[in-house]
Amino acid sequence: MKLVRWGEAGAERPGLVDRAGRVRDLSREVADIGGPALSPLGLAALSALDIEALPLVEGTPRLGACVGGIGKILCIGLNYSDHAAETGAAVPPEPILFMKPTSAVGGPNDDVRLPRGSAKTDWEVELAIVIGTAAKYVSEEAALDHVAGWCILNDVSEREYQLERHGTWDKGKGCDTFAPIGPWLVTRDECPDVSGLEMWLEVNGRRFQHGSTATMVYNPAFLVSYLSRFMTLHPGDVIATGTPPGVGMGQKPPVFLKAGDVMELGIEGLGTQRQVVVAD
């Protein structure tokens, strides 16, 4: 299934995408795409529905983040060997962890706002894991049983704030609108293997990132197991798993976003995003 949340910001409703690519309304079936709806029982109930009998959403609705009620966004840094090489960094012996606040969440096609004074805002197309059932101290072998599915997250990053302003990475990663999520959550039964998915990102029509999840250092099962050693993962939590090469700071000379730029990005089987960059 491809699960979506549609409607005005702050008032999104649950839906799913039918075989013709149209949005069907799930409001009578579930309260949101989050919490109990992401459990194995919840997903089984949704998959048993007669999709053609669900109300059709007319037109082209705005899509919100495909997960509602996100508790936390966990992010893994330098998790692609070729991206680590382009930044001159060594592959870390354990995953680098940072977090984005939920105030950074936006829809897949919403504007990305440059923070005031920003000079080095960058892009990162990432595969994201969506947790379906609580995970604590889970083994790597059982880890994917706790995953509801996958989606795209653009890990927008202000590099000066991240790398030159001292302390942790979080203040360069957590600005408002810096976590566009979606367009949809693809359930694990529809996409059981994410080990070799093509990934890409363009700015103003120029392709900067073109890679594959095949160069990921720590795979999703390992990451879920690893993170569950330090904190309980709850339904609706999102884990961004890192980015392939081609980020702006890796260009020679570096290239950063400015107002008016358009980012377009996608992952094979998981859809596409499009964001216009605007000044805050």
Q: What is the mean pLDDT of each run of 10 residues along the chain (280 residues)?
A: 97 97 97 96 97 96 98 94 74 92 98 96 98 98 98 97 90 96 97 96 98 95 98 98 95 97 98 97
Task: Using DSSP, state whether 268 is helix, strand or coil.
Answer: coil
**pLDDT value of position 92:** 83
**pLDDT value of position 7:** 98
The dihedrals phi and psi of 123, each to the nearest 5 degrees, come to: -125, 155
**pLDDT value of position 270:** 98
Q: Which domains does the chain have, with CATH numbers?
A: 2-53 (no CATH), 73-279 (3.90.850.10)
The dihedrals phi and psi of 230, each to the nearest 5 degrees, come to: -105, -25
**pLDDT value of position 205:** 98
Question: Across the chain, which distance is largest between two alpha carbons, in Å?
Answer: 55
Contacts of 57 (CB under 8 A, 6+ apart): 6, 15, 22, 23, 24, 25
**pLDDT value of position 87:** 73
Q: Please report which residue ranges of the chain form alpha helices under DSSP H.
A: 40-47, 81-87, 159, 170-173, 220-227
Q: Are 251 and 208 spatial neighbours (Cβ–Cβ below 8 Å)?
A: yes
34/148 Cα distance (integer angstroms): 10
**pLDDT value of position 84:** 67
Single out the residue of 36, 40, 98, 44 nearest to residue 69, CA to CA.
36
The partner residues of 265 in beta bridges, in order of sequence, read 201, 273
148: its two tokens: 């509801």
**pLDDT value of position 83:** 73
pTM of the model: 0.96
Q: Are 150 and 128 spatial neighbours (Cβ–Cβ below 8 Å)?
A: yes
50/105 Cα distance (integer angstroms): 31
